[in-house]
Structure 1
């Protein structure tokens, strides 16, 4: 049984904001429903994932297909993301001057450490890699631009939290607590430890918290007096990146990389820190 249109409006429109366009929000929710590695989804699957009534989903997928944001496979009777979504993503990345500035610094550090070194921004409860550079060694993470990591367990996510204002951080933590439910106390403990690490070292750690064989160090990039917060990380196999190397080697070196990026950003963004 699917929710009524009124139920769906309640889900999408807290407080009945008159300026909120529910139809647009629903269409965007459908696009968000496509996960990494999932090429095709049908209307029923999209309805279940978004809690949008199936008749509404059918109209939205038709419209998004006509606009080029979805492609329809008539044999499977399912949809996949279309080139329109890719074009929007490329335009977003092309307009981010920080990527152009950060990339050579990230690549140099990745080559020197044989680690995965990335720049990321937050999207709901995840961090999304906006730029990522790989080293050449055999024991490195092969994650690419667009990869998503959970904020609560990844070093880059925790670093992003550390870069937020106290008020904004508390708001995000409340949202994360609601999402994770009974698992929240464990995640909260890790985040609190990262706040202590950041106060002590100037960077955050994730030692086998995101994945058992992965460890990483990260720190925030605070731009425009906190109006924009991003983060950079350096990660790899936990067999290579033990606590001592993270704290006494990679962490301090990552701080130098961050300072170099911020120095280059300064002429464009005097508020970068």
Structure 2
């Protein structure tokens, strides 16, 4: 019984210490603010913060207050080094594929192309030419356009003209403006006849756009109404993967 109580007390102390780190991470710099955020007595907050400073999880400056410490930076760097994006994303991609019954992709930007890292095949018996390791033009694919939603109009114009003709440029720029505002992108058979997709970007802990996912199928299963309905679902799953990477929204 005594050991069990000690275990519970230790777990509670750990959780309170983590709450103090969360408080500082969200901008609470002084003990009063940290105490209120964590709902702990000021003396307890001080004791925890002091221990965290000693272990380099926090740092303290008289004119600034508490801030995140170098130990967290070290751990964050190690975590990033050990993360495999396909492995991290795959459970979410599988859930999305199971929900939609369609082909699901994960891709990243490499120059003017999207590099496919992961593909889960459609449960409808449909086959597409995309595969892990395959590259396709950014400006002509849904997942590629999702990777471009933060690019400037000048950069988008230059990229598109390297991959298509001026005849379709204005339509592309107009669509990209809508996609940028909505946080999604469509492929309306620009890259492959009869193939349509809905895509959304993935962000990391620094709010950098690093990857994108897409749900793809033939036009038979991808009416415009269904594509519109899929937008929040695809964005939600992209958000889950982003959260796994430390993105706070």
TM-score (normalised: structure 1)? 0.55
Structure 1 residue 114 and structure 2 residue 98: aligned? no
Q: Quick one: distance in 1 between partners of 2:211 and 2:203?
A: 6
Note if 1:194 corresponds to 2:176.
Answer: yes
Could you tell me how far apart the structure 2 residues matched to 1:192 and 1:174 are?
15
| 1:108–1:99 distance in 2 versus 1, CA, 3 Å | same
| Two-structure CA RMSD over aligned residues (Å) | 2.5
The answer to whether the aligner puts 1:261 opposite 2:226 as a matched pair is: no
Please say if 1:135 is aligned against 2:122.
yes
Per the TM alignment, residue 233 of structure 1 is displaced from its structure 2 partner at its CA by: 0.8
> In 1, Cα distance between the equivalents of 2:157 and 2:222?
28
How far residue 101 of structure 1 moved from its aligned partner, in angstroms, is 1.4
Distance 1:260 1:185 in 2: 38
1:105–1:257: 8 Å Cα contact kept in structure 2? yes
Cα distance in 1 between the residues matched to 2:121 and 2:88:
17
**Which of 203, 212, 223 is the aligned partner of 1:231?**
212
Counterpart mapping for 1:1-273 below 5 A:
96-141=83-128, 143-162=130-149, 164-166=150-152, 170-171=154-155, 173-177=157-161, 179-180=162-163, 183-199=165-181, 201-248=182-229, 250-266=230-246, 271=247, 273=249
- SS of 1:225's equivalent? coil
Cα distance change on mapping 1:173 and 1:95 into 2, 3 Å:
farther
1:258/1:133 Cα in 2 relative to 1: closer, same or farther (>3 Å)?
same
Work out whether residues 137 and 163 of structure 2, in 8 Å CA contact, stay in contact via their aligned partners in 1: no
The aligned length equals 169
Larger Cα Rg: Structure 1 or Structure 2?
Answer: 2
Unaligned runs of 5+ in 2: 1-80
How far 1:128 sits from its partner (Å)? 0.8
